[in-house]
Structure 1
Amino acid sequence: MLETRETATPFSEPDGGDLAASSSRYFNRELSWLAFNERVLAEAENQRYPLLERLRFLSISGSNLDEFMTVRVAGLAGQIRRQIEEISIDGMTPSQQLAAVHDEVLKIEALQQQTWANLKTELVGCGIRVIGDERIGVQGERWLKEYFLEHIMPVITPQAIDPAHPFPFVASNGIGILFSLNRVVDGSPVMEMILIPQALPRFVRVPGPEAIYMSVEDLICRHVEHIFPGFKVNGHGVFRVLRDSDIEIEEDAEDLVRYYRTAIQRRRRGMVIVLQLQGRFDPVAEELLRAQLGLDRALIIKTGGLIGMAGLAALVEEDRPELKFEPYSPRYPERILEHDGDCFAAIREKDIVIQHPYESFEVVIDFLRQAARDPDVIAIKQTLYRAGKQSAVVSALIAAAEAGKSVTAVVELKARFDEEQNLLWASQLERAGVQVIYGFVDWKTHAKVSMVVRREGEGNRTYCHFGTGNYHPITARIYTDLSYFTADPAAGRDVGRLFNFITGYVEPKKTDLLSISPINLRTTLYNCIDAEIANAREGKPAAIWAKMNSLTDPDLIDRLYAASQAGVEIVLVIRGICCLRPGISGLSEHITVKSIIGRFLEHGRIWAFANGKDLPSRRARIFITSADGMSRNLDRRVELLLPIRNRTVHDQVLGQVMLANLLDTEQSWILNSDGGYERVGECENPFNLHRYFMINPSLSGRGASLTSGRKVPKLSLRRGNI
């Protein structure tokens, strides 16, 4: 018997024959995202995972939901305030979407609280306690008091709420406490607020062999008599605020750097989107918050449990390795080690594809470091979308510029929530002599590419790195992505044209290999889909396999519907949002959609087209890309789509990476035609793609060992098991 779990199904059932012409053929984007986050939350109840990893999934679901509210839901609320009646692809107005989203968020918040209650009980059984009102013994209480007086009391600032004291500003993700007091000497009522500085730890751990934690808000409330001597405490209420955190670009922005520096400041004072109230909140205090925070279209969440689920990440840091995944050390590509660490020599010999996090991101860093110190390297060009706070990539570019090389960095200021960090990197790069370009005003530069020009023999050779993920060493340990290295002259010419397009707005007349959005990436995908449709009509094998993070573009979805109607067999691996409705007779009966949620975050983007032969085959057309199936990626971002022509790399991307995603059962969910997701559960031949790649090395990175007899288990597709 299959073990299944279905997430919320807020979508209507198909209407039959008229569906193909109606907006009901699409799922709502926002509700689909919430269904994704519910799948993330479901992993917190997955008994196959160690306990603290399950807690991590709960924390991630909280962090995800916070970002969703401050960006997507804030956008809906903004449309309503500005009276913008833009209809979503599924036919809903902003007001209808906001109401539906609020309902689903409340359901998910209740699920999070129940999950936290369950995990909290299990943690106690493992010697980890999170306390609230309960006492912990004389020594523990003494330590808490001393910690409060030494580390908390000097930092917090109580503020009276009355006509003489203006209501304080509450930052986004800010937690505050309202206290209802009476002055002992005269009995007069007083309302006081304490805003908890975000520099304070979310949870405090009591020293000792048993892990005892207390939230900082509970610690403050426990020692309130030290804050308000001479007052009687009648009650208190803990609250949390989330604000609109999106940044909109104005078309007439004359200086992007200056604009973003001021926009970041404005974002901190955005409209309140969520007010979360904990416990039995005092009605007078609640009314005060409602009046002072300006809760236009805001969601008010009342809970008896924990607020700010993302903060549980602090508990995951507890040193209990038996309650976490076994540590994993990424492999370094043997191909490069065989060339004594010379990346250029290894790439000259043959193209290489690296799959992170199973293979080390350090090879990307080494590629740039080698370029920086190599006297024969003339120039380096690099895109930077998200690079992290401690970026070895940026350090390598600075070292190259200081060594006298021509270095160009395209720094994307519009990378959401990384704008401030990217401004800092841009400043450091410019001081080192790097030519910093900020790209287009209207389009984000989302393509991930490095280009190194090196003197060799009588001329120059160009080495390129293409990535499906960011140049971010931290996320590269968690996100599954592909890094592709090549010295193919055609790729080098195209990358040169790409950088000229970004830096000088010189749109390439033609490209040899690459497809670039918003120029021709969409057209390339459509041509490939249309070729499969033609093959299906001629009775040839016709199939499409694709892997991406999101699929929301209605035109691309309609093209896939047309392919299904022609008989093309389509399997989509979409981790997050999917607006395509699969499994509808006469519309999408040949389309299967699955989502994989597990130890690593599936992030790579791959397209595979059968090209007249049964997949997988060496005749298949394989592409890797930086773009998801979203309108913004296809029309409003600079993205790359790269065909894979090298035979070994082709086999690895299709026969290893893509096929393993299709075969996975242990971490997979299947999307039903009503919008619900059903976990695959137990089966006769279970397969876990993360475990497979942690154990088995890649093809193109193995070098001479590929033919040494050390075999990698070959994957095979069992027809009908997807």
Structure 2
Amino acid sequence: MFDLLQMANHVERTPSMNAPETIANPAMEQERHQRYVNRELSWLAFNRRVLAEAENTRYPLLERLRFLSISASNLDEFTMIRIAGLEGMATRGIETTAIDGTTPRQQLDAIREDVLQIEDRQQAILTDLRHMLAEENMLIAEINQLSMRNQEWLQQYFENEVLPLITPQAIDPSHPFPFVANLGMGVIFTLERIKGGNDLVEMVLIPSGAPRFVRVPGDKAIYIAIEQLIVRFADLLFPGFRIKGDGLFRVLRDSDIEVEEEAEDLVRVFRSAIQRRRRGRAVLLELDEECDAEAEAVLREEFDVDSAMVVKTEGMLGLRHLDAICAEPRPDLKFSPFSPRYPERVLEHDGDCFAAIREKDIIIHHPYESFEVVVDFVQQAARDPSVVSIKQTLYRAGDQSPIINALVEAAQNGKAVTAVVELKARFDEERNLKWANELERAGVQVIYGFVEWKTHAKVSLVVRREDNSYRTYCHFGTGNYHPVTAKIYTDLSFFTANPSFGRDAAKLFNFITGYVEPHDLEQLAISPLNLRDELYARIDREIEFAQKGRPAGIWAKFNSLTEKGVIDRLYAASQAGVEITLVVRGICSLRAGVPGLSENIKVKSIIGRFLEHSRIWAFGNGYQLPSRRAKVYITSADAMGRNLDRRVEVLVPITNSTVHDQVLDQVMLANILDTERSWRLDPDGEYHRMAIGDGGFNCHDYFMSNPSLSGRGAAIEDRDVPRLSLRDRRK
């Protein structure tokens, strides 16, 4: 699960195209610091909130362990992308300042302090969790804690399963230091010949395909880290030598992929770039606290520690792999099982997605409602003889993708199928190349979009022959076409047969595939063309309402808020009297509740069992929120410069009254009312957990227990679904 959550927190490379210019005026820099929060430090604050869930005593133990692995995985990616980018800027002498006025070197100094504090806290939490798990007959053990019988079994396992996988490599003038891949882990030994002769330094790299933890057979779950086996039984690996010392290490490398805009062959360029990434510059060298001094000296020299961060850890390295232990079949130590609902509205039409969508627009709230309805929509289109064409964007689709399979089947059935495959989806580049090849072999027209922009919009367009004419069905999503992440990410899937949406979606695809810039859009706003302008216009409209003394309000929900222009517009709205509530899961560079600047802005972050991923904007439109007259939008874009200026995104207005009520009065309002999973952002930039206990409200529990407004069928129309009220809660 940690890899999936990690995907939702992908960090943008430094510097951005719209990075502010260097500012030499100290007073101006101080003003910027008081006005904005540094994005790197805000991200680290987010990861501390994730880590706090590993300390949450209300969660089962294995779920707490999972959150620990998630925080470690997040920190790895932050190091490989953000720290690597800042290090590169500092090394090249680039003094471009961040939104808060700090230089790359100043940011690195602050980041290092935070990173070390987080790593120390991770180790302390692991120590506590190991004690608590031991009380539940689950041991993340040291070998010397085990019985002789178990130690003998581990030795046999090492000889039979591990020894054939590993290769000792001498380090001397005739054996140069071996390459260690990104995220690679190994043990370096200093050896002395028993019968005399020169000492040796040997390295053993842990194969990436080997299990990180070995489970000892038996009713009691005992896990041993594989590096312990290598150290403990090193004498079997080096007969004739005495082990003088050893040291465990781990390396993180610069992992971003940069593509020149004039690249002529994207596929060839990305194949080459993926190979380069595996050999990127070392950014972090992690050593265990008891690393042998001679071994440490070799590692520091070979990994060029002058340009890399070195961390010595008194504990376990590579905590991201702890999620493997969470697979232990102990339901008593995990969240209660939850099965997503299939929308009753579709079931009433005997599973016919097209008939259900023709009746009225539908929005599906994942993971509370099943992603299967999205899969069924594409699969039905692939098999329906009346469907003539399918167009689909693909950003992340996962390893086993039913969406890909459906597109292949559609092409084989003679339909015109176009797939926009984004090669620049970070850490999914190789997988997306694989899918592109498979789609092309099946006869799908594969498009790679723009060189300089990522296609991040989530859109599916199906054209169907009906009554001697053609009808267009559309799906717009806030999340990826990824069946695994859809089980834990909260996202919205909007289905419509409204012809105006279909016309706009067709123009969007023409823009991506043929560079035909769309004109006269009826519903959608598209970045980087006019999405920013549309948001600004809506915010400005709320300012006008406030200035005229009418109710004015903005509710918004997204993953990150870093775009200076959007922040400044929201500050202006607050100063005009617009009441603003933001639900920002991750990075937030806006300062909330600052007198004279943002006293009318409230910001909260929700962290819990499910990862908040949907993006929503709601504008009062002259009425008190929530209101049926409010303007409501869903979008694939976060409030970041990259989303507004360097990605193809869509902003989708919600016009159907039932869907409008669901998004505003159910989804947004529940997020705003939540206290059980929420953190409040204070004016000083710190987050504090909101009240938990009697009288609290848990939005995840609410959504798991109640059907959505647009998806419920006639059979349960009269069911008493608890309606939420902001006014009642205020009382």
**Would you call these one fold, judging by a TM-score over 0.5?**
yes
Aligned residue for 1:635?
Answer: 645
Is 1:384 the equivalent of 2:394?
Answer: yes
Is 1:713 the equivalent of 2:709?
Answer: no
Amino acid at match of 2:497: A
Aligned residue for 2:250?
Answer: 240
Aligned residue for 2:136?
Answer: 126
Structure 1 stretch 463-472 or stretch 224-233: which is displaced more? 224-233
Aligned residue for 2:492?
Answer: 482
Q: Counterparts of 1:719 and 1:552 in 2: how far apart (Å)?
A: 33
**644, 655, 663: which one pairs with 1:653?**
663
Shift of 1:99: 1.4
CA contact 2:32–2:99 (8 Å) conserved in 1: no
1:123-522 alignment to 2 at 5 Å?
Answer: 123-186=133-196, 188-522=198-532
Q: Counterparts of 2:526 and 2:730 in 1: how far apart (Å)?
A: 35
Is 1:667 the equivalent of 2:677?
Answer: yes
Is 1:616 the equivalent of 2:626?
Answer: yes
Amino acid at match of 2:116: L
Q: Counterparts of 1:99 and 1:25 in 2: how far apart (Å)?
A: 21
Amino acid at match of 2:581: V
**606, 612, 615: which one pairs with 1:596?**
606
Aligned residue for 1:561?
Answer: 571
Relative distance call for 1:700 and 1:720 in structure 2 (3 A) is: closer
Shift of 1:705: 2.9
Shift of 1:675: 1.4
Amino acid at match of 2:722: P
Aligned positions, number: 705
Shift of 1:252: 1.8
Aligned residue for 2:43?
Answer: 33
Shift of 1:139: 2.2
Aligned residue for 2:119?
Answer: 109
CA contact 2:592–2:601 (8 Å) conserved in 1: yes
Q: Counterparts of 1:160 and 1:19 in 2: how far apart (Å)?
A: 52
Q: Counterparts of 2:145 and 2:672 in 1: how far apart (Å)?
A: 51
**548, 562, 580: which one pairs with 2:558?**
548
Aligned residue for 1:7?
Answer: none
Secondary structure in 2 matching 1:381 = strand
Q: Counterparts of 2:235 and 2:457 in 1: how far apart (Å)?
A: 56
Shift of 1:719: 7.1
State the Cα deviation string for residues 361-393 of structure 1 (Å, max 9, x = none). Answer: 000000000000111101000000000011000
Shift of 1:671: 0.7
CA contact 1:552–1:577 (8 Å) conserved in 2: yes
Structure 1 stretch 498-507 or stretch 157-166: which is displaced more? 157-166
Aligned residue for 1:4?
Answer: none
Shift of 1:295: 2.9
Structure 1 stretch 26-35 or stretch 184-193: which is displaced more? 184-193
State the Cα deviation string for residues 13-60 of structure 1 (Å, max 9, x = none). Answer: xxxx99996343010011100000000000000011000000000000
Q: Counterparts of 1:62 and 1:143 in 2: how far apart (Å)?
A: 31
Q: Counterparts of 2:727 and 2:307 in 1: how far apart (Å)?
A: 51
Aligned residue for 1:60?
Answer: 70
Structure 1 stretch 248-257 or stretch 625-634: which is displaced more? 248-257
**47, 50, 53: which one pairs with 1:43?**
53
State the Cα deviation string for residues 74-105 of structure 1 (Å, max 9, x = none). Answer: 11111122222211110011111111111110
State the Cα deviation string for residues 463-515 of structure 1 (Å, max 9, x = none). Answer: 00000000000000010000000000000000000000000000012200000
State the Cα deviation string for residues 552-572 of structure 1 (Å, max 9, x = none). Answer: 000100000000000101000
Q: Counterparts of 2:445 and 2:686 in 1: how far apart (Å)?
A: 49
Q: Counterparts of 2:314 and 2:730 in 1: how far apart (Å)?
A: 44
Structure 1 stretch 457-466 or stretch 179-188: which is displaced more? 179-188
Shift of 1:279: 2.5
Shift of 1:706: 4.5
Shift of 1:192: 1.0
Q: Counterparts of 1:138 and 1:249 in 2: how far apart (Å)?
A: 55
Higher relative contact order (CA 8 A, sep 6+): 1
Shift of 1:235: 1.6
Shift of 1:681: 2.4
Shift of 1:637: 0.4
Unpaired stretches in structure 1, ≥5 consecutive residues: 1-16
Q: Counterparts of 1:594 and 1:693 in 2: how far apart (Å)?
A: 19
CA contact 1:135–1:141 (8 Å) conserved in 2: no
CA contact 1:24–1:91 (8 Å) conserved in 2: no
Secondary structure in 2 matching 1:552 = coil
Q: TM-score, normalized by length of structure 2?
A: 0.95
**576, 581, 589: which one pairs with 1:571?**
581
Q: Counterparts of 2:503 and 2:330 in 1: how far apart (Å)?
A: 51
Q: TM-score, normalized by length of structure 1?
A: 0.96
State the Cα deviation string for residues 161-192 of structure 1 (Å, max 9, x = none). Answer: 11111100001111110112111101632211
- Please provide the CA RMSD for this pair: 1.4
Q: Which runs of 4+ in 1 moved over 3 A?
A: 17-23, 718-722
Shift of 1:284: 2.0
Q: Counterparts of 2:145 and 2:66 in 1: how far apart (Å)?
A: 27
Amino acid at match of 2:528: P
Aligned residue for 2:86?
Answer: 76
Amino acid at match of 1:238: L
Relative distance call for 1:547 and 1:157 in structure 2 (3 A) is: same
Amino acid at match of 2:82: R
State the Cα deviation string for residues 386-445 of structure 1 (Å, max 9, x = none). Answer: 000110000000000000000000000000000000000000000100000000000000
Q: Counterparts of 1:21 and 1:610 in 2: how far apart (Å)?
A: 31
Q: Counterparts of 1:393 and 1:277 in 2: how far apart (Å)?
A: 43
Secondary structure in 2 matching 1:22 = helix
Secondary structure in 1 matching 2:187 = strand
CA contact 1:26–1:580 (8 Å) conserved in 2: yes
Q: Counterparts of 2:542 and 2:525 in 1: how far apart (Å)?
A: 19
